[in-house]
Amino acid sequence: MRKLLEKYRSIPIELKASVAYTICNVLVNSVAIITIPLFTRLLTTEQYGQFSIYQSWLSIMTIFLSLNLPYGSFNTAMVKFENDRDRYISSVEVICITLSALFMMIYLPFSSIWNRLFELPTYLMVLMCFEILAQASLQFWYGKERFKFQYKAVVIVTLLIAFLAPIISLIFVMYAQEKGFARIVGGSAVTITFGLIFLLYNMRKGSFSINKKYIKYALSFNIALIPYYLSQTIFNQSDRLMIKYFQGVDKAGIYSVAYSLATILVFVLNAINNSYVPWLYKKIKMKQAESNKYVSSMIAIIMAFLLFCVVGVAPEIIYIMAGTKYLGAIWVVPPVAMSLLFLFYAQLFINIEFNYEEKWLLVGSTVVAAIINIVLNGIFIPVFGYVAAAYTTLASYIIFTFSNYFAYKVVCKKQNLNDNLFDYKKLFLIAVVFCTFCFAAMGLYTHSMIRYTLGIIVVILLAISKNRILNKYKEIQQIFAGSDNE
């Protein structure tokens, strides 16, 4: 036991944080997965569609009511204002509060008009406003703690919310007549409760400061990024809204379940990125970022493998988690999973763009890809149904990735950077192999025995390669250790 403790203490704090966030996110998403069968069976496809439509509008309105301040400028601000982080957070909290108050002043006198647009009742719109403010406060606190690598408190709070939200929602759903809306209220109530607590905490830690310099910095950075964030949200949410328009709320509900299961590993990407970005920015600042070429390639391999595991068992996951009425959605999972790998690639380049505050290049590439996504949805959903939305998403993310690749090249030239951060040939090969395997897996969806046999072979090969995999893990650990000791 003593040796284990000593070994644990010797692990770099960055790696500890990464592992802790990954395990935490596994638990959080495990709870989400476990509760999906409960809600898909308690709610009709139309009621589940109501919940997914609320989530779509929540994502869109978050951009306008918080300007996505916990993202974009936040990471660079945590580096730029390293010695005054609490006052920075207090200042940007004031921006979010002000935007929420302004929205209520515009919304309440004309609520009937707004409600027709959103197709949501007044109490849910008010709830949405509070939930956005609460989420922003939580993310401000999460972000600061992550930059300090103080992961324990973040893990505890995250797990509390993750466990309480579905429990409260389940109680509401069981006793309510409007079960779709009850699902919304239950989860939102938990987020709002925790979020408002951390809103007061953040303000108090920052001595209720309102620093004009910080407000100006945050607004100038993030307002310019609104087209980017809006376009990015369109990637994720327009599919459901357009499916609802062309094919009805029930089809939007079916697509939403499949999309949620396909993107189940987004938590892995987020967990890795939460510890990877501070490490990368630190290495760039020290002009020692060459090791990123190896690290980024290894992360890409991990992401591709995990995504393929989801694709390989998509029929079983859909059947167990949602039931037979959602089985037609298995064809949504592979193209959406492929989209996630390209999203990860795009994020690699975006991290560099953010680090050098080159916002306009990012905005342009995102807007173009989002417009293409909407146009393709408008053409193909009425003809081929909701499954077409998954392929339009894939096409849009491929365009998005290449756009950000060219934007990254421009940043390198402008900042006189050596273009030695990524192994392009390896990243391209990983993408080609991954997509090929995904399409092959789709062809075997109706041949379960062959899929099961191949799955067993993969498990055996992994067991045989155990030592090699562990050696790769140790190599990554040594890279982070080197960063920690510098």
Assess whether 147 and 282 both reside in one domain.
no
In this predicted structure, which of 132-136, 212-216, 471-475 has the lowest mean pLDDT?
471-475
* Average pLDDT over every residue of 204-221: 87
pLDDT tens per residue, range 340-361: 899 889 988 888 887 776 767 7
End-to-end Cα spacing for the chain: 29
Whether residue 374 is predicted with pLDDT greater than 60 in this model: the reply is yes
Does residue 128 or residue 455 have the better pLDDT?
128
Residue with token string 């939580």: 138
Rounded to whole angstroms, the Cα distance separating 447 from 430 reads 26
- Estimate the crossing angle of helix 45-66 against helix 226-247, to 10 degrees: 160
Assess whether 209 and 244 both reside in one domain.
no
pLDDT tens per residue, range 179-196: 888 888 988 999 999 999
* Average pLDDT over every residue of 110-138: 89
Residue with token string 């996630």: 340
Distance set, CA 354 to CA 68, 179, 399 (Å): 14, 42, 19
pLDDT tens per residue, range 329-342: 788 889 988 998 99
Structure tokens belonging to residue 236 = 């994720």
Assess whether 115 and 247 both reside in one domain.
no
Torsion over CA: 367, 372, 375, 380 (sign): negative
Assess whether 198 and 334 both reside in one domain.
no
User: Could you tell me if residue 255 is inside a domain?
Assistant: yes
**Banded pLDDT at 45 (limits 50, 70, 90):** confident
Assess whether 253 and 359 both reside in one domain.
yes
In this predicted structure, which of 155-159, 287-291, 367-371 has the lowest mean pLDDT?
287-291
Assess whether 382 and 454 both reside in one domain.
yes
Question: What domain range is 468 assigned to?
Answer: 240-486
Q: How many domains does the chain have?
A: 2
Structure tokens belonging to residue 88 = 């920075």
Whether residue 316 is predicted with pLDDT greater than 90 in this model: the reply is no
Does residue 217 or residue 253 have the better pLDDT?
217
Domain's final residue, options 166, 197, 223: 223
User: Could you tell me if residue 228 is inside a domain?
Assistant: no
Domain's final residue, options 223, 253, 270: 223
The pLDDT assigned to 235 comes to 66
For the residues of 258-291, what is the DSSP string, one character each?
A: HHHHHTTTHHHHHHHHHHHHHHHHHHHHTT-GGG
The pLDDT assigned to 475 comes to 62
User: Could you tell me if residue 113 is inside a domain?
Assistant: yes
Amino acid at 312: G
Assess whether 372 and 426 both reside in one domain.
yes
Rounded to whole angstroms, the Cα distance separating 5 from 2 reads 5
Torsion over CA: 112, 117, 122, 126 (sign): negative
pLDDT tens per residue, range 284-313: 777 766 777 888 888 888 889 888 988 888
Q: Among 178, 185, 89, 91, which residue's Cα sits nearest to residue 138?
A: 89
- Using an 8 Å Cβ cutoff, are 300 and 375 in contact? no
pLDDT tens per residue, range 68-123: 888 767 877 887 887 888 898 999 999 999 999 999 999 999 888 888 888 888 98
The pLDDT assigned to 198 comes to 92
Domain's final residue, options 223, 254, 276: 223
* Average pLDDT over every residue of 39-65: 83
Average predicted confidence (pLDDT) for the chain: 81
The pLDDT assigned to 485 comes to 47
For the residues of 9-59, what is the DSSP string, one character each?
A: HHS-HHHHHHHHHHHHHHHHHHHHHHHHHHHHHHS-HHHHHHHHHHHHHHH
* Average pLDDT over every residue of 415-441: 89
Assess whether 321 and 219 both reside in one domain.
no
Beta-carbon contacts of residue 52 (< 8 Å; ≥ 6 apart): 240, 252, 253, 256
* Average pLDDT over every residue of 380-405: 89
Assess whether 110 and 42 both reside in one domain.
yes
Assess whether 112 and 260 both reside in one domain.
no
Rounded to whole angstroms, the Cα distance separating 63 from 77 reads 19
pLDDT tens per residue, range 444-486: 888 888 888 888 888 888 778 777 767 766 666 555 555 444 4
Whether residue 174 is predicted with pLDDT greater than 80 in this model: the reply is yes
Rounded to whole angstroms, the Cα distance separating 211 from 213 reads 5
For the residues of 459-477, what is the DSSP string, one character each?
A: HHHHHHTHHHHHHHHHHHH
Rounded to whole angstroms, the Cα distance separating 25 from 371 reads 32
**Banded pLDDT at 250 (limits 50, 70, 90):** confident
The predicted model scores a pTM of 0.69
Structure tokens belonging to residue 38 = 């409960």
Whether residue 363 is predicted with pLDDT greater than 80 in this model: the reply is no
Cα torsion through 369, 370, 371, 374, rounded to 10: 120
Whether residue 280 is predicted with pLDDT greater than 70 in this model: the reply is yes
The pLDDT assigned to 39 comes to 80
Assess whether 339 and 272 both reside in one domain.
yes
- Using an 8 Å Cβ cutoff, are 165 and 188 in contact? no
